[in-house]
Structure formats: C-alpha cells, structure tokens
Chains A and B, each alone.
Chain A
Amino acid sequence: MPYRVHCMVCAGTGCVSNRSLEVRDALENEIRKRGLQDEIQIVTTGCNGFCAVGPLMVVQPDGIFYQQVSAKDVPLLVEEHFIKGRPVQKLLYKPPEAAAPIPKMSDIPFFKHQRLIALRNRGLIDPEKIEDYIARDGYQALVKALTEMTPEQIIEVITKSGLRGRGGAGFPTGVKWQKVRQAKGEPKYIICNGDEGDPGAFMDRSIFESDPHSVIEGMLIGARAIGARYGVVYIRNEYPLALERIQIAIQQAREYGLLGENILDSGLDFDISVTRGAGAFVCGEETALIASVEGRLGDPRARPPYPAEYGLWGKPTCINNVETWANVPPIILHGWEWYSQIGTERSKGTKVFSLVGKVRNTGLVEVPMGITLRQLIYDIGGGIPGDKKFKAVQTGGPSGGCIPAGMMDQPIEYIAPDGKREARDYLDLPIDYESLTDVGSMMGSGGLVVMDEDTCMVDVARYFLAFTQDESCGACTPCREGTKLMLDILNRIVDGHGTMDDLRALEEIAWVVKQTSLCGLGKTAPNPVLTTLKYFRDEYLAHIEAHKCPAHVCRALNTYRIDPVICVERGHGCGVCRRECPEKAIFGEKNQPHRIDQTLCKKCGVCVEVCHFNAVIVE
C-alpha cells in the first residue's frame, strides 16, 4: 500500500543533538503498535535550517510543522494527528508575539521568505537514499549535460548564468572552468572545498547532510565540462555526519554506475574520493587545501600559478565550494536564463546565510542575492530579542567586517548596478558581493552575526582577531607577527591599558598585514579591526581615554556598585551577593544596604548575575 503520511523527522546535526533520533524511534514504535506501519512512513532528513527550535519534523502532505518534539509527545501526536487528522497545538510553532500558532511550514516567516536552490531538497528527501534524490529530478541535469550538451556549451551556460563562487571571493565559476579546461596537463582534477572554517558557518555541512548527491552531480557535470578524471571532496573531520552521508552517497552513486567508468554509457570516466581535513582554518584556502590533500602540511603558497594551471599533484585543478557545486545541476536543468533572473545585476542566484547572534530566529536561510539586511534580520530573523537596540551586523566571518546599524538613518551612498549613485540606509542595502565589499565587509561564506547594544565592538574585533591569529600558519611574517602585535594591542585596550599611540599603531599594522600577507587569511584578517575602527571609533576612544566600555562587556573597565535603596527596599539586604562573591569584597548586614569594596573587587560580575533585584549597577 502507498503511504498516506510522510513524517519527515529532521536528522541534521542540530536536531540529532537535541535527540531527534529518539523521537524517530518512538514514532516507529508507536506506529507499529497501532498497526499503521503500512500507512505512515517515517523519513529522516537533513537539516531544515531552523535548528533553534529543534528537534523538528514536518508532516506531509499537509505541511504541518512541529517543533521541540520529544519522544514523550509521540503517542499523543500519533493519536491526534496521524489517526484523527488534528494537528497537535502545543507542538506547533508560535512566534513570540503572535496570538496563535502557525501550523504550516510554508506560512512561517522564517521559511516563507526563503528561496531554495542549493538547498532545494532539504527536508524533502532522505539524504541516504539515492532514489529520493532521483525522484526530485536528481541526475537529470547530468543526463542533459551528457547527452544534449558539449563541454563548451556547459561552460557557456554556467558563465551566462552568472554563478559566482560561494566560498567567499565570488569568482565567476564559468570563467574558472574555462581556464581549467584550456590548461595543459592530464589528468585534471576537481575539488569540492568543504573545509568550512568560519566560526558559526554551517551551510556546507548542511548541504552534505541534507543533499549529498547534489554535490556529486554538480562535480560530475563539472568533470564533463572541464575534462576531469578524478574528484576530491575535502571535509573537516569535525563533521562526522556530513562525512558519513557523502560517503554513503558516493558508494550508492558507484553502485548505480553514476561514478566510475563509462558513466551512463556516455564515455565519461569520473570518480570521487573523500579527504578528511584536520580542521585548520587556513586549509580552506585553496593552495593550502591542495597541500593538505597531497599529505603535506596545510601551508598556502603564493599564487600565481593558480590551481587552474598548477593544482593537485601539479595538474590543472578546478576547486569550488560545496554550495557552488550544489547550484550547478539546477542551472543546467533549468537554463541560465532562469538562474540569471534571480539576484542583482552583478550577483546572481541565491546565497545561503547562517543567521546567528542577537536575532530571534537563528538558523540557516537561503535567500535571493540582493535581499536587504532589513528583510533578513527583521522579516526572516524576526528582529532583535528583548527590547534591545540593533547595533551592527558582522558578515563574512573572521575575514569580514561589521556594518553598523548606527548609520541606519544616515544614508550611505550606494552605487547602483547601472552606475547611478543613490543614498540608502545600510539596513536597506541589498546584499551582494559588491555592496558588502563597498562598505568594508565581505560576503565570505555567508556568516551573518547580528549584534545588539550589549555587544562591545572592540571585543568583537578582538574575538575575530584572536581566531585568525591562532589560525595563522606562520608562513609569512606580516600575518604571523602582525596579527600577534594587533592582538596584543587589542588585549591592552580591553584591559584598560591602551594608549592613543596603540590605536595609531593598530591601524598602521592592520594596513600592512592586509597589503603584504601571503594568502587570503592575512589579507582579510584585519577587516574586523578596520571596519570597527571606521564605524565605531568612539568605542575605542571610550576604552582608551575614559577607561570605559560603553557596552559593559570588558569587565576590567567596569565599576560595580550596589544601589543602597534598591538593595534594602526590594531586596531587604538579602546578602546573596555577599555570600557568592569569590573575593569576599561585599559587606553588609541583613536588612541593611550592602557595599562593594572597590580595592578588593576583581570585577568578575558574579554579583550582577546572582542579585534577584537588579540592585548591582555596572558603570
């Protein structure tokens, strides 16, 4: 009998760690218990992107979206929904301020505004079943590329589509393919860059986990276009589920003869192997990655020669990002005309962003290029939680920069695709590769960290620089020494010992590192510092001159004080701060105002956290 209900249980990394597999097991048990196993199919899918409310599941064909489901909800769910057809109210998603829950996935704002191309199959297929992929037009683009198109035509379609590399720099994919095709040397290689080193980014992992065959199909089409014989998928070892799924997918594709020799009787020979990376940020850089695949230390080298001419084992190599590969099959299937309608003049298609930080709906979203920050943060992200003020958004990870909301009402000049200059709010800035670079940031891999008024921008710069400093491979002096010097200065500033000379030095070193480093890591590492210096200089000055951190994040600069009136009138001198203070720096009697001895206070902030009456004031 056909199944009448497909219950799509999310088994992405986020939901699995929230025990979605227990939910699946409970569902299977309950369904068997009630004899429904022939009517209802339980399917485990990849990440749906809304991990914040996981474990989640979608019941089809009605498209009912359930969130925070636990195994103990299962009997009720089966009884009410699967038997009686009534969605279980308490498991539905309800936006914080809404009166009623939203039962259908397609009506939930977080999903409603998305446009899925790279993630077209997410939540709709079991990533471990090649048949599920085939059912959704999987490998049809390959058939088209093998039977109806010449390699030149494939490259032409990709070029005309306007697809650009999703790994960060946005290099036109068709142009790269053409270079590799023309390069001399055999065999040629294809690499899928799944290193994904940006902290907070997880779109590549999600593609591997939810739709691994889309990457394989993209690589196969690339192989046909450029004449490559071997492919390598490079994934960091911290992604066990992604590794497992891509390996299963490769195995299935081999069994079906979609990898190997004479694929689909077309004469194409191509096979893929998987290399696990040890998780160094610099190994995402293409030359370092190639060194790592060859078994050498993951050190970058100077380019040119580019991998297109001198890549893996010294042969012409086409390296593209996971998301880039996943975009290839739909473009071939639906044509460049279709794809190039989506997006802006210079940036076509969609981009997957990981929306994190101080925003209500965190998660993974795929949206058309040219969407504005306002739409992303407010329409999809649901705005800033609490009654906090939106302060800035950081894009592009450790290589990117901060775009201030403080300039929200102070329009910037935006150069439109047709060259016209117009004034726009930052928030209404359409996001594409160029617009982000124009404001000093970058697209990067698509990390988007939203920050509210409680974020200290100096601390943010320090955080990202600490990351790049730590990940610097040390091969070139500017990056190795420069990031260290910059970090020392930033540490001094957040500790309250910074001087104006430090600030001048910081800026100067930042430019030197940016301009003289060997690889992209060093060239972009100063971006967080430079953008915060540009847009939030007053915060640096507050730290240096007034010895204050305006957001009260840098503890060494805070002064903690107890409001005697609140302490007595509301708290009756409860004394919890006195007991909890690890430095024994708080004095007072019951029913009497308490007091912090500033000479003993080590500014750990515990008193703020333990006081029930908000009597501790931070200045």
Chain B
Amino acid sequence: MPKLKIEDLARIREQARRATLLREGAGRVKITVHLGTCGIAAGGRNIMTAVLREIEERNLHDVLVTTSGCAGLCSREPMMTVEVLGQPPVKYVDLTEGKVKEIFAEHIVGGKIADRYALAVGSERVM
C-alpha cells in the first residue's frame, strides 16, 4: 500500500460512504422489495438483483434496500415500494427488470413518480 495523501483519505471516505450511511440507517430513498412466498414465486429475487445492480451502476450512495413479506396483493407481484424521504411511499406492481430500470431513472434519480407502473401513492396505516 503506497503512502496516503490527504486526497486519498477523502476518496476512501467517499467510497465507503454508502456503507456508513446504511449502517447509520440513513438514506434519501428506501426501497422495499416484497419477498413473501408469492413475491419470490413471481420472480422477486430477480427484481432484487436488478435493484441492487441499478444502485451499483448508477453509483447511488443514498438508497437503502430492504425486504418485506407479502403485501397482501399477491396477484400483482413482483412488487416494490419506493419511499423518498419526506414523500409518501409509492407501490410499484407487476415489475420486470426493464421496469425497474425505468423507475430508477424517473423516480429514484429523476424525482418524478413513474405513474404508469404505480399502484397507489401512500400506504395503509398500521395501528
């Protein structure tokens, strides 16, 4: 390992930023991929892979991905919920890898909800 310069420190810090944010539970966008039995059967795993690949290719540092069980709408799986900080969550249904790409471009990066794939804006209240 060559000797570090001050710029190198900044670079290492920037590279590891994603991990740090994730561990602090902080992020601008939270994506929940529904991976109940139904979600997995409908191909949810591929959606997860597509989501993670998008994050990598676009070098996004502020997007957290979690999973959840069945959302109670098995016929519309695979599904994911996108939650931009300070905005109501949006549920996207009948997903394909291509649609995930578009949602990333329009909503997650672009900031505009991809209406045509969205089921609903907002979500049910829990308790």
Contacts and interface: CB of A to CB of B under 8 A. Distances in A.
Majority-rule SS of A interface residues: loop
Contacts of B1: 255-256
Contact of A2 (B35, B40, B55): B55
B9 A143 contact: yes
A264 B55 contact: no
B35 A83 contact: yes
A124 B6 contact: no
A347 B1 CA distance: 42
A179 B3 CA distance: 33
A264 B2 CA distance: 11
Interface stretch (B23-31, B94-102, B110-118): B23-31
Contacts of A140: 9, 13
Contacts of B19: 3, 6, 41, 132, 135
B68 A124 contact: no
Contacts of B52: 1-2, 4, 38-39
Contacts of B16: 131-132, 134-135
Contacts of A258: 4
A136 interface: yes
B64 interface: yes
Given A39-B52, A62-B25, A4 B64 contact: yes
Contacts of B30: 61
A227 to B, nearest CB: 21
B124 interface: no
B27 to A, nearest CB: 7
Contacts of A134: 9, 12-13, 16
A607 B31 CA distance: 62
Contacts of A86: 68-69
A258 B35 CA distance: 45
A61 B68 contact: no
B107 interface: no
A110 B80 CA distance: 34
Contact of B4 (A8, A61, A257): A257
A336 interface: no
Given A60-B23, A61-B64, A62-B66, A265 B9 contact: no
A330 to B, nearest CB: 16
A258 B4 CA distance: 7
B4 A264 contact: yes
A84 interface: yes
A131 B15 CA distance: 9
Nearest to A266: B6
Interface in B40-60: 40, 48-49, 52-53, 55-56
A1 B18 CA distance: 12
B20 interface: yes
Interface string A236-280: 000000000000000000011110000011000000000000000
Contacts of B36: 84
Nearest to B27: A61
Contacts of B4: 256-258, 264
A411 interface: no
Contacts of A5: 66
Contacts of B85: none
Contact of A84 (B3, B23, B35): B35
Given A4-B52, A84-B68, A135 B17 contact: yes
A6 B23 contact: yes
B12 A135 contact: yes
A143 B1 CA distance: 19
A139 interface: yes
A406 interface: no
Nearest to A264: B6
B109 interface: no
Given A134-B12, A135-B20, A82 B56 contact: no
A147 interface: yes
Contact of A257 (B3, B65, B67): B3
Contacts of A200: none
A52 to B, nearest CB: 23
Interface in A124-143: 124-125, 131-132, 134-140, 143
Interface string A66-87: 0000000000000000111110
B66 A84 contact: no
Given A4-B52, A134-B13, A61 B3 contact: no
Contacts of A95: none
A265 B2 CA distance: 13
A147 B12 contact: no
A440 interface: no
Interface string A29-52: 000000000110100000000000
Nearest to B68: A85
B67 A84 contact: yes
Given A85-B32, A85-B68, A61 B23 contact: yes
B125 interface: no
A60 B40 CA distance: 22
Nearest to B17: A135
Nearest to B30: A61
A255 B1 CA distance: 6
A265 B12 CA distance: 18
Contacts of B56: 1-2
A39 B6 contact: no
A83 B4 CA distance: 40
A85 B22 contact: no
A39 B48 CA distance: 9
Contacts of B64: 4, 61
A131 B16 CA distance: 7
A85 B13 contact: no
A131 B22 contact: no
A15 to B, nearest CB: 18
Nearest to B40: A83
A425 B32 CA distance: 50
A239 to B, nearest CB: 26
A606 to B, nearest CB: 51
Contacts of B20: 124, 135-136
Pairs A-B, 4 closest by C-beta atoms = A257-B3, A135-B16, A85-B67, A4-B65
20 contacts: A1-B56, A2-B18, A3-B19, A5-B66, A6-B22, A8-B23, A39-B52, A61-B23, A61-B30, A62-B25, A63-B25, A83-B40, A83-B67, A84-B36, A85-B68, A124-B20, A125-B23, A135-B15, A135-B20, A255-B1
Interface of B: 1-6, 9, 12-13, 15-20, 22-27, 30, 32, 35-36, 40, 48-49, 52-53, 55-56, 64-69
Given A39-B48, A62-B25, A82-B67, 17 more contacts: A2-B56, A3-B19, A60-B23, A60-B24, A61-B23, A61-B64, A62-B66, A63-B25, A84-B35, A84-B69, A86-B68, A86-B69, A124-B23, A132-B16, A132-B19, A135-B15, A256-B4
